[in-house]
Chain A
């Protein structure tokens, strides 16, 4: 009796050869660890289109699927929807490693800049897309936002956010402030705020930062970006930044802002309780306020253009095709983009159902724009926003815009809270932003 193992007829122990065992185990482990080579085979009959999106544009896409299936019965569409920030992180990751790439992705305008310097997105001016032929059909600035320095078009706009001034008509009436008082100039806007505060106790706006955000978007020269010019030189020491900082400081010094952060509970409560009398936001905010943010204030708000003839964009969704996604699906992805962005039905449908303001110009003659909006007390606000959309100028995006924005916010906070001088703050911001310009 050797080691307790049964012996075979020849006296040798029964059992697999040890080396064979190990080899087998190693093989199993390897095949389990490495990605399966037996990927689904694309049969001629069915093609698989993957679209990566986030709320709420994912709803728009899903609503359009029946129409797309009708046109392309052999294409199976899968929509992968993730939370907003996670979606963009996932897209960055996927583009980095060229794996898990969807055939089509939606992108928010803020993130376009980050991908602008890379070569991860397909240039849609090339054949077979030839997107330039459609340029005139879109709202000018939206299309240009997706065009990089070399003239390549990296994405197609599907919805836009025109900036607007929302104000509480009841509070204004109580203070004897007219809409003209609010909008004729920035100084008159602030002056109106003083009167509103005195008469009703309500703040003029949620945060002094908001005024900075709009004013720095005025007076941008063609070809310039928000923080950098075409040669990646920082633009902080310009008049628009000076004025923006001065106005913000004035608002804070006169206690005209509620000092709340956007999307925080304090901010939401401010609207519900009528503690904030105006805000400068994308037009889509009216929908949010109406639906869940402050539905009890329905009918009390009005919309106006931004003060002093300023026009700014806030938000906007784009479709893009990753350059290294499956080549055979790219034409299909392009067809989907064309359907969503160039079709009047799709654009208006998304507008009516989900408040997605169209980027397609030919929808602008639809009577829907003239309809009164209950939230705005019957005012046909869409007319205003349509007008604004036509007048917004494109701003060149830069890879470091995200960082630059934070730096400017930090410096503004120091001016507002710690009494730092505006010149010093702008100089510091300029230096910091310049040091990163070429990374």
Chain B
């Protein structure tokens, strides 16, 4: 794919086909001038109503104090009070630290595992490639609720499969995966890792296929070893894919909501160890009825996401 096609402007179209100028167009046909607006129209309407407006409203709400069951007109302007509250709220900071931990613990292994697996499949596996890649990818397409329900059962303290397996090997106390703060986080991280590692395998595999083979041949002739080739050819070529994948992991990790929500049954777990920021602000709104603070927190989190995404770009983007 080379450069994008030059777009057709209204005047160009007229210039190219002079005969159209004098031709009468039937009323129902779209003229070139109106075409973009009509084509874009439905999308734009939906976008403004369901994308832009809620966004702006959430910004507005962040500056209000609002007891929801008293109705919409009960909002009171409170300036930065919600933000101030959020910034001194212990639970908010706890949720941020939970989110950070989970994003790292689930995100980093995804890429550390996906890259070697992709390289291996690319280099060595021809016959069953689709099957193998498919197997890795399947967790990604299934519903979070389904997976979390399944994992809740598998990790149940007294009756879960994991503990039964462990009992066969090791004769200690059964581990209380979902109830103790120390183990909730790794369980959630494991779930997220399991879910997304396949997507990254696919991503890197596709990227690997665009690296020209003669680069490797030339390197082999020059006497470069396997890991040297990996370090000096593969990794740099993978850079755009890594940037894309890591960006998605950063954004996704910071937004974690569904997995912790289901695994802790909507409560956040002991010591709120499983409560990510997205989860917390959902609770702020729907459990603690504080919509103003919830909106303020969501904007604070957005700031964090934006900064980290920018930082990712700086670290991994093209150095031109």
Residues of A within 8 A of B (CB): 2-3, 5, 13, 15-18, 21, 85, 89, 92, 95-98, 114-115, 117-120, 259, 261, 265-266, 269, 324, 399-400, 402-403, 406, 410, 413-414, 417, 432, 435, 439
Question: Do residues A98 and B71 form an inter-chain contact, with CB atoms below 8 A?
Answer: yes
Q: What's the minimum C-beta distance from B289 to chain A, rounded to whole angstroms?
A: 6
Given contacts A114-B289, A410-B271, A410-B272, contact A96 B71 (CB under 8 A): yes
Judged by a CB distance under 8 angstroms, whether B144 is at the interface is no
How far is B271's CA from A120's CA once the two chains are assembled, in angstroms?
32
A-B contact pairs, 20 of them (CB 8 A): A2-B26, A3-B29, A15-B28, A18-B27, A92-B69, A92-B286, A97-B72, A115-B69, A118-B74, A119-B70, A265-B156, A400-B288, A402-B287, A406-B272, A410-B271, A413-B181, A414-B271, A417-B180, A417-B181, A435-B89
Q: What's the minimum C-beta distance from B46 to chain A, rounded to whole angstroms?
A: 11
Question: Do residues A118 and B26 form an inter-chain contact, with CB atoms below 8 A?
Answer: no
Identify which of residues 70-97 in chain B touch chain A, using a CB-to-CB cut-off of 8 Å.
70-72, 74, 85, 88-91
Interface residues of B, CB < 8 Å — how many? 39
How far is B303's CA from A89's CA once the two chains are assembled, in angstroms?
29
Question: Do residues A120 and B289 form an inter-chain contact, with CB atoms below 8 A?
Answer: no
* In the complex, residue of chain B having the shortest beta-carbon distance to the beta carbon of A263: B265
Question: Do residues B69 and A120 form an inter-chain contact, with CB atoms below 8 A?
Answer: yes
Judged by a CB distance under 8 angstroms, whether B293 is at the interface is yes
Judged by a CB distance under 8 angstroms, whether B179 is at the interface is yes
Interchain CB contact (< 8 A) of A96 among B69, B89, B158: B69
Q: What's the minimum C-beta distance from B175 to chain A, rounded to whole angstroms?
A: 13
Residues of chain A contacted by B289 (CB below 8 angstroms): 92, 114, 399
Residues of chain A contacted by B69 (CB below 8 angstroms): 92, 95-96, 114-115, 118-120
Q: Return the 3 tightest CB-CB contacts between A and B, nearest first.
A: A120-B69, A96-B68, A95-B69
How far is B145's CA from A114's CA once the two chains are assembled, in angstroms?
28
Residues of chain A contacted by B90 (CB below 8 angstroms): 432
Judged by a CB distance under 8 angstroms, whether B157 is at the interface is yes
Judged by a CB distance under 8 angstroms, whether B25 is at the interface is yes
Residues of chain A contacted by B25 (CB below 8 angstroms): 3
Interchain CB contact (< 8 A) of B288 among A15, A21, A89, A403: A403
Residues of chain A contacted by B26 (CB below 8 angstroms): 2-3, 5, 13, 15
How far is B266's CA from A266's CA once the two chains are assembled, in angstroms?
19
Chain A CB within 10 A, most for which of B158, B272, B288, B289: B289
